[in-house]
Amino acid sequence: MEYGKNFTEMMKEFSMLDEVEGILLAGSRATHYNDKDSDYDVCIYLNKEISLEIRKQITDKYCSYMELNNTFWETEDDGMLRDDKIAIELIYRDYRLLDTMLERTLVRCEADIGYSTCFWANLLHSIILFDKTGKLHNLKEKYRIDYPKELKQNIINKNYSLLKLKMPAYYYQIEKALKRGDMVSVNHRVAALFASYFDILFAVNEMPHPGEKRMLKILQEDDKKIPMDMSENVANILKFAASHDDSLLLEIDKLVINISSLLKKEGVWEDWMDDQM
């Protein structure tokens, strides 16, 4: 794959730092879902922190704009490359922490609420741009494994409970928010509902979760195992949430019924799931 000159030279400079163990290109440019507006998602794995001064010296050379040390989610620098005016995101991570997180998910099979296997997908589907001692390559090989069956069931169980089964479920939170006329809360909970919904679907398909972009598109490709009327359900829920329409609850009911049918068909339905409130 060809990259712009400024991108290539900047990666070369980062790779020369003692603090850097490896550099991965992730996101759509690594998975070939990119378009002309896709940014560069770069993960720089460290053995110790790079000073802000050094990061500024490097990024100033190759970027026309740069926001240093954004820490909203992780430590990152976000800017715009000079040559092709494409956005770049530099995320700084501890290599050892990545291994710990992947072991938690893939060895201990601990599920999350939404996006359970995103870090796994990020590693597997990334392109190694630099690997000082082969640690990133070794980590990729270590976790190039079949989808753990225990993890699959744990993700399904944990996230299915929050669709409509338990008292704190999104359905009941949305129902209360509609009664209050609190549309900010409605939309917040709808987003959470979809996070759990898609976490279940990628687990059913034994696919590492690709993240928050293009989820419908990916699940519609090839012969994926998907619920009946998936696209229609999703579109209607978004439409009814935006229009403050009480039909939203009926559409969520349909979504839950359809995903339940899929779980039964795929043999991952458990008896306790029959206890609908």
* Residue 34 pLDDT > 80: no
Residues near 173 by beta carbon (within 8 Å), at least 6 away in sequence: 185, 189
pLDDT over 90, % of the chain: 80
For the residues 18-33, what does the mean pLDDT come to? 84
Higher pLDDT, 32 or 106: 106
Cβ(145)–Cβ(227) below 8 Å? no
Which strands, in side-by-side order, build the sheet including 87-94?
63-70, 76-81, 87-94, 40-46, 20-26, 127-131
Identify the structural domains of the chain with CATH numbers, from first to last: 5-142 (3.30.460.10), 151-274 (1.20.120)
Cβ(58)–Cβ(168) below 8 Å? no
- Give the pLDDT of residue 277: 44
Calpha distance 102→123 (Å, rounded): 10
- Where helices occur in 117-229 by DSSP H, the ranges are 118-124, 135-142, 149-160, 170-180, 183-204, 215-219
- Give the pLDDT of residue 37: 64
pLDDT in tens, 216-273: 999 998 889 999 999 999 999 999 999 888 899 999 999 999 999 999 999 999 988 8
For the residues 73-83, what does the mean pLDDT come to? 92
The pLDDT mean for the chain works out to 92
pLDDT in tens, 187-211: 999 999 999 999 999 999 999 999 8
Q: At 180, phi and psi to the nearest 5?
A: -80, -10
- Give the pLDDT of residue 95: 85
- Tracing tokens 């779980």 back to the chain, one arrives at 263
- Give the pLDDT of residue 222: 82
pLDDT in tens, 250-265: 999 999 999 999 999 9
- Give the pLDDT of residue 1: 62
Beta strand 87-94 with 40-46 is: parallel
CA 14 to chain centre: 25
- Give the pLDDT of residue 49: 94
Cβ(161)–Cβ(169) below 8 Å? yes
Q: What's the full length of the chain, in residues?
A: 277
Angle between helix axes 170-180 and 247-265 (nearest 10 degrees) is: 170
State the pLDDT confidence band at 33, using cuts at 50, 70 and 90.
low
- Give the pLDDT of residue 140: 93
pLDDT in tens, 138-157: 999 999 999 999 999 999 99
Cβ(19)–Cβ(47) below 8 Å? yes
- Give the pLDDT of residue 223: 87
Tokens of 24: 């991965």
For the residues 36-48, what does the mean pLDDT come to? 86
* Residue 128 pLDDT > 90: yes
Choice among 35-39, 60-64, 110-114 with the minimum mean pLDDT = 35-39
State the pLDDT confidence band at 276, using cuts at 50, 70 and 90.
low
Q: Which residues pair with 23 in a beta bridge?
A: 44, 130
